[in-house]
Copies of this chain bind each other. A is one copy, B any other.
Amino acid sequence: MGSRSDPTTDPALRSWVPVREGSDFPIQNLPYGVFRREAGDPGGIGVAIGDSILDLAPLAGEGLFDDSIPRPRALEAPSFEGVLALGRPTWRKLRGRISELLSAGSREIRDVPGLGERVLVPLDQADLALPVAVRNYVDFYSSLEHASNMGRMFRPDAEPLLPNWRHLPVGYHGRAGTVVVSGTPVVRPWGQTKDDDDSAPSWEPTRMLDIELEVGFFTGAGNQLGTPIPIQTAGDHIFGLVLVNDWSARDIQRWEYQPLGPFLGKSFATSISPWVVTLDALEPYRMAGPVQDPEPLPYLRADDASAFDIELEVGLSSAAMSERGFSPHVVSRTNFRSLYWSMAQQLAHATSNGATAGPGDLFASGTISGADPSSYGSLLELSWRGTRPLVLPDGSKRAFLEDGDTVVMRGWCGDGRERPRIGFGELTGTIVPALADHLADGRPTIQSPRE
C-alpha cells in the first residue's frame, strides 16, 4: 500500500479547481459524500474538492469513467453503497481517475462545453446527506485511556481495566437506524434513571447528556457468512473513515446497561461527518500504533503499521455563544494514533466468528481519550463525572450538555504546508429541548406523525 508510489497523494499535485490554503479538501484528499442540490432531490454521489463538490453521475454519463469503473450505475445511486461494493482495486482506479480529471493539467472536463458548470456544485449550496444507509453499526471501546478512566470512575476500588480488555477489542452493536448525518438536531431523550439512593426509577429527560469523540470506518467488498476476514487482508476491506459523535445519556445508560450493555442510553442518535475520507488518502499518515502488551493472539497480530496520525478536536458553543457569534470553545484535543486496538484488528476480530462485514457496515473506535486530561473524548471524563465542570467563554459551566449547545468535532492529517491537509470537514450537532411532559402520565402529548 506504499504511498510513495501513489500519484494521488503526491504533495506536489494541484487541481484546476481553486483550493483555499488550509482547506480540508485538497486534491490529495477527495473524500466521498452524498449531496442534494435542493430539497426532494434524490441525491447524488460527490467528491469534495476545495469549496466545491464534484458530481460523479454526470461525469459517468459523459463516459469519463469507462476504464476505471466497471459498473457506472454505482455512481448514480442516492447512496454510495454500490461504490463500497466495488472493492479496493476498483476504488483505487476510480480515485486515480478522479484525481487525474481534477489535476491542474487536465482539460477533459473543461473541454466539454458546460460540463464544468454542471459537475461542480458550490459546497455552500448543497445539502449533505447521510452518505450510506448504515446496515450494521459496531462500536468498540478501543482507547486504553478511556476504558481506564471509565473503570476509575465507576469501579474505584478495582483494577481500572477488566481482564478481557488487553486480549480483545471489546465492542458491541449500536443502533444502525439512528446513525444520522452531521447537522441533524439531537432531541434530548427521556428515559428511566435511578440514583443510588432512589427507591424506584424516575421517568425524565436525561440530565447527563454527553458526547463521545470517535472515528469510524466503512467497509466494502466483504466476506461470506462463516468465513472470517484475516487480519492480513483486513485493510483491503476498509473503504474510508468518518468522524463519529456517539451521543450518550449517562444516567439512562447507567440504570439500564446491566447485564446486556448500553441500549437506550445511546440509541437516540449517533452523528457522523458527511465526507468519507478514503483509506487511500490517509496512507501517507499511516504509522505504528501503541505497543500491545501482552502480545495479542495470532489472529489479531499484524505485521504492518496500522495506526493513523489523525488530529482530533472537539468544540462546544452554548446557545448564547452561538447567538453572539463566538467560535466554538475547544474542550478537547487528541489524536487517533493513540488507539490501542487498530481498525484492522477490530475488523479481524468482528469477523473472527464468521460474521459478515461489507457495504453499509460502520465500525466506530469508541471514545478516543489521550493520557492528558485535556485530551479526553467525553464530557464525563473532561468534567470527571461533573466534579470539575468546564467553563465556557460566556462564563457558563458545563458538566454535561445543555439545551441549545452545539458540539463541533474536527479531524485532519497534515499541516497543510509541507504535508497536504487531509481533513474530515465538520461534524456538528445542536441539542434541542426534550418533548414537554412526554408520556409522563401514560398518555402521549403528541402522536407519531405518520399515524
- In the complex, A400 has a CB within 8 A of chain B: no
Query: 1/0 contact trace for A178-220 toward B, CB 8 Å?
Result: 1010001101011110100000110100000000000000000
B233 contacts A355, C-beta separation under 8 Å: no
A167 contacts B232, C-beta separation under 8 Å: no
- In the complex, A37 has a CB within 8 A of chain B: no
- Our pick among B136, B298, B357, B442 for the contact of A440 (Cβ within 8 Å) is B298
B164 contacts A256, C-beta separation under 8 Å: yes
Residues of A163-187 contacting chain B, CB below 8 A = 163-164, 167-168, 170-178, 180, 184-185, 187
Query: 1/0 contact trace for A129-142 toward B, CB 8 Å?
Result: 00000011110010
Residues of B within 8 A of A200 (CB): 167, 294
- In the complex, A385 has a CB within 8 A of chain B: no
- In the complex, A438 has a CB within 8 A of chain B: yes
Residues of B within 8 A of A262 (CB): 172, 260-261
- Report A97 CB to chain B, min CB distance, Å: 22
B168 contacts A192, C-beta separation under 8 Å: yes
Residues of B within 8 A of A172 (CB): 172-173, 260-263
- Our pick among B187, B357, B451 for the contact of A226 (Cβ within 8 Å) is B187
- In the complex, A372 has a CB within 8 A of chain B: no
Residues of B within 8 A of A194 (CB): 163-164, 167
Residues of B within 8 A of A301 (CB): 442
A87 contacts B450, C-beta separation under 8 Å: yes
Residues of B within 8 A of A229 (CB): 448
Among A59-67, A264-272, A312-320, A330-338, the one that faces the other chain is A264-272
B353 contacts A439, C-beta separation under 8 Å: no
B221 contacts A450, C-beta separation under 8 Å: yes
- In the complex, A20 has a CB within 8 A of chain B: no
- Report A169 CB to chain B, min CB distance, Å: 10
- In the complex, A402 has a CB within 8 A of chain B: no
- In the complex, A222 has a CB within 8 A of chain B: yes
Residues of B within 8 A of A447 (CB): 230, 233
Residues of A427-451 contacting chain B, CB below 8 A = 432, 435, 438-444, 446-451
Question: What is the count of identical protomers in the complex?
Answer: 2
B176 contacts A192, C-beta separation under 8 Å: no
A167 contacts B192, C-beta separation under 8 Å: yes
- Report A197 CB to chain B, min CB distance, Å: 13
- In the complex, A387 has a CB within 8 A of chain B: no
- In the complex, A350 has a CB within 8 A of chain B: yes
Interface size band for A: 35 or more
With known contacts A164-B256, A258-B162, A444-B230, A177–B223 Cβ distance under 8 A: no
B264 contacts A299, C-beta separation under 8 Å: no
- Report A377 CB to chain B, min CB distance, Å: 16
- In the complex, A371 has a CB within 8 A of chain B: no
How far apart are the CA atoms of A230 and B438 in the complex, in Å?
Answer: 10
- Report A306 CB to chain B, min CB distance, Å: 14
How far apart are the CA atoms of A122 and B18 in the complex, in Å?
Answer: 64
Query: 1/0 contact trace for A359-382 toward B, CB 8 Å?
Result: 011000000000000000000000
- In the complex, A114 has a CB within 8 A of chain B: no
Residues of B within 8 A of A231 (CB): 442
A230 contacts B261, C-beta separation under 8 Å: no
- Our pick among B167, B180, B203, B249 for the contact of A299 (Cβ within 8 Å) is B203
**From A349, which residue of chain B is reached at the shortest CB distance?**
B264
With known contacts A172-B173, A261-B261, A353-B190, A298–B442 Cβ distance under 8 A: yes
Assuming A224-B450, A249-B353, what are 15 further A-B pairs, CB within 8 angstroms? A164-B192, A164-B256, A168-B256, A170-B256, A170-B259, A172-B173, A172-B262, A173-B175, A177-B357, A191-B353, A203-B298, A229-B448, A260-B262, A267-B350, A298-B441
Q: Give 5 nearest A-B pairs by CB, closest first.
A: A261-B261, A298-B442, A189-B353, A230-B444, A187-B226
Q: List 9 A-B contacts (CB under 8 A).
A: A164-B192, A164-B256, A171-B260, A230-B447, A233-B444, A252-B353, A260-B262, A261-B261, A299-B439
